[in-house]
Homo-oligomer: A and B are copies of this chain.
Amino acid sequence: MIEKISSKKVKNNPIGIFDSGFGGLTVMSAINKILPGENLIYFGDTAHVPYGSKSKDAVIKLSKEIAYFLIKNKVKTIVVACNTASAFALRFLQKNSNVPVIGVIEPGAKEAVLKSNNKAIGVIATEGTVLSGSYPSEIRKISKAKVYQQECPLLVPLVEEGWIKGEITNAVIKKYMKRLLEKKIDVLVLGCTHYPLIKKALAESIGQEIAIVDSAQATALEVKKNLAQKQILSNRKEGNFKFFVSDNPKKFEKIGKLFFEKRISNVKKQELWG
């Protein structure tokens, strides 16, 4: 059970964001663009990346430890910027934390339903997210749309290699998209925080008739809405950033900037106790 600490309405407290690795930095980047005055703390669980192939129990255990660390750092809200952790651990964290916890799946699911006319929605994600059934389940709550999921295990390493365009990337995307296109989807949800980096290649592959839902952007808008409702948006002009990882801070600084689109420095190592 995560220590319950009172959620004082402290406008200047930071927003805590976590992911298994680098991917959540696309969510952090989207939050920073929409809410530039907020202080942001990021935790990347690089010792245990990727979560996509782990079991539910394992992901809950790790997420709990990270949420505890963020709460100790006085965050006013927690963003689970990882689709697998949102799929497996969000309910647990919401139940056991006294600060609001926002995942990436619900905002993406809502936007997908709004954008779909023929009610056929495609979702691309990691194995863990697909197997969890979280996107179909969230969409089913608000719509009768059909949901077609596709696991794409190669897309994360492709992005981390920096191969965000070109022959190989296009061929891999084409292979993964084949079945979804046959289903006549009109919306494609990027169900993994790495995928915004290949949004352009995906858009070219699927054509203009299919709308892309970037869950990083949808989540950032949800965070803004939530803080505004609670009247705890910061009044600051410019917030600062803190970064913690469970392994390899140097690598995080180097690769992280691809995802965050800004320089990353002073990354601190914070081991999880397992």
Contact = CB atoms under 8 A, between A and B. Distances in A.
Interface of A: 46-49, 53-55, 58, 153-154, 156-158, 160-161, 167-168, 171-172, 175, 247-248, 251, 272-274
Nearest to A246: B58
A54 B21 CA distance: 12
A55 B247 contact: yes
Contacts of A158: 154
- For this chain, the copies found in one complex come to 2
B58 A54 contact: no
| Max count, chain B CB within 10 A of own CB: residue among A49, A157, A167 | A157
Nearest to A271: B58
A25 to B, nearest CB: 16
A53 B46 CA distance: 8
Given A49-B53, A53-B46, A153-B161, A58 B247 contact: yes
A133 to B, nearest CB: 16
A161 B274 CA distance: 29
A89 B152 CA distance: 32
Contacts of A54: 47, 247-248
Nearest to A48: B48
Contacts of A161: 153-154
Contact of A168 (B157, B171, B272): B171
| Max count, chain B CB within 10 A of own CB: residue among A46, A53, A175 | A53
A53 B248 contact: yes
A160 B168 contact: no
A73 to B, nearest CB: 22
A55 B248 contact: yes
Given A153-B157, A156-B157, A167-B171, 17 more contacts: A48-B48, A53-B248, A53-B251, A54-B248, A55-B247, A55-B248, A58-B247, A153-B160, A153-B161, A154-B158, A154-B161, A157-B157, A168-B168, A168-B171, A168-B175, A272-B274, A273-B274
Nearest to A156: B157
Contacts of A53: 46, 49, 248, 251
A168 B171 CA distance: 7
Contact of A157 (B154, B167, B248): B154
Contacts of A248: 53-55
